Chains A and B, each alone.
Chain A
Amino acid sequence: MIKVFLIALGRMVKGDTKFYAWLAFLFVVIGLGSNAYLNQLDKGLITTAMRDQVSWGFYISNFTFLVGVAAAAVLLVIPAYLYHFKPIKEIVLFGEMLAITAIIMCLLFIIADMGQPLRAWHLLPLLGTMNFPASILAWDVIALNGYLFINIALVVYTLSRLASGREYKLSLIFPLILLSIPWAVSIHTVTAFLYNGLSSRPFWNASILAPRFLASAFCSGPALMLILLQLIRKFSKIEIDNKAIFKIAELIAYTMAINLFLLGAEVFKEFYSGSVHKAPLEYLYLGLHGKSLLTPWMWTALLFNITAFVIFLVPKLRESFLTLNLGAALIIAGIYIEKGLGLVVPGFIPDTLGEIYEYWPTGSEGIITAAIWAAGALIYTLMVKFSIPLYTGELLDENKHSQIKA
Chain B
Amino acid sequence: MSKEIEKASVDRRTFMKGIAAGLAGAVLPGGIAEAFDWDAFLQKHFKEMTDEEIKKVIERLEREAAFDWKKKIHIAATKALPNVKFGYGLDLSRCIGCRKCVHACVEENNQSRTPQVQWITVLRFKKGEKWIDLENSEKYYNPKEVPEKDFFYMPVQCQQCENPPCVKVCPTKATWKEPDGIVVVDYNWCIGCRYCMAACPYGARRFNWAKPSIPTQDLNPETHYLGNRPRYKGVVEKCTFCIQRTRTGKYPACVEICPVGARKFGNLLDPQSEIRYLIENKRVFRLKEDLNTEPKFYYFFAT
Q: Give A residues with C-beta under 8 Å from B.
A: 43-46, 48, 50-53, 55-56, 110, 113-123, 126-131, 134-138, 141, 194-195, 197-201, 276, 279, 288-289, 347-348, 350-356
Contact = CB atoms under 8 A, between A and B. Distances in A.
B200 A122 contact: no
A279 B133 contact: yes
A52 B207 contact: yes
Given A44-B209, A45-B209, A129-B45, A350 B171 contact: no
B132 interface: yes
A131 B205 CA distance: 19
A170 B67 CA distance: 63
Interface string B259-286: 0000000000000000000000000000
B41 interface: yes
Interface of B: 12, 15-16, 41, 45, 48, 115, 121, 123, 132-137, 139, 156, 165, 168-174, 189-195, 197-203, 205-211, 232-236, 291-292
B12 A127 contact: yes
Given A52-B206, A115-B191, A353-B202, A200 B291 contact: yes
A351 B173 contact: no
Contacts of B194: 55-56, 113, 115
Given A137-B169, A200-B291, A352 B202 contact: yes
B191 A347 contact: no
19 contacts: A44-B210, A52-B205, A53-B203, A55-B207, A56-B198, A116-B232, A116-B234, A128-B172, A129-B173, A135-B170, A135-B195, A137-B171, A137-B193, A198-B199, A199-B165, A199-B292, A289-B135, A354-B123, A355-B139
B47 to A, nearest CB: 8
Nearest to A355: B139
B171 A352 contact: no
A374 to B, nearest CB: 21
Contact of A347 (B136, B198, B201): B198
B133 A276 contact: yes
A122 to B, nearest CB: 4
A51 B193 CA distance: 13
A116 B40 CA distance: 13
Contact of B201 (A53, A119, A141, A352): A352
A227 B206 CA distance: 43
A136 B196 CA distance: 12
A122 B191 contact: yes
B234 A354 contact: no
B165 A198 contact: yes
Nearest to B16: A127
Nearest to B48: A129
A200 B121 contact: no
Contact of A135 (B171, B210, B292): B171
A116 B193 CA distance: 8
A135 B168 contact: yes
Dominant SS at the A interface?
A: loop
Given A115-B192, A116-B234, A129-B45, A200 B200 contact: yes
B1 to A, nearest CB: 14
A141 B172 CA distance: 11
A130 B172 contact: yes
Contacts of A199: 165, 201, 291-292
A120 B191 contact: yes
B121 A353 contact: yes
Given A55-B197, A138-B171, A114 B133 contact: no
A135 B194 CA distance: 13
Contacts of A352: 134, 200-203
Given A44-B233, A127-B16, A136 B209 contact: no
B135 A354 contact: yes
A289 B136 CA distance: 9
Nearest to B118: A52
A350 B133 CA distance: 10
Given A129-B48, A279-B133, A351 B203 contact: yes
Contacts of B236: 115
Most buried by A among B170, B199, B209: B209
A99 B139 CA distance: 45
A346 to B, nearest CB: 13
Given A44-B211, A45-B207, A118-B41, A52 B170 contact: no
Contacts of B45: 122, 129
B171 A123 contact: yes
Contacts of B190: 115-116, 119
Nearest to A128: B172
A131 B172 contact: yes
Contacts of A55: 194, 197-198, 207
A199 B199 CA distance: 7
Nearest to A351: B203
A350 B135 contact: yes
A134 B168 contact: yes
Contacts of B133: 276, 279, 354
B135 A123 contact: no
Contact of B193 (A114, A198, A289): A114
Q: What are the 9 closest A-B residue pairs judged by CB atoms, nearest first?
A: A115-B192, A115-B234, A354-B134, A200-B201, A276-B133, A137-B171, A46-B210, A46-B209, A354-B135
Most buried by A among B16, B41, B199, B208: B199
Contact of A200 (B123, B170, B191, B198): B198
A206 B241 CA distance: 33
A48 B207 CA distance: 13
Nearest to A275: B133
Contact of B169 (A110, A122, A136): A136
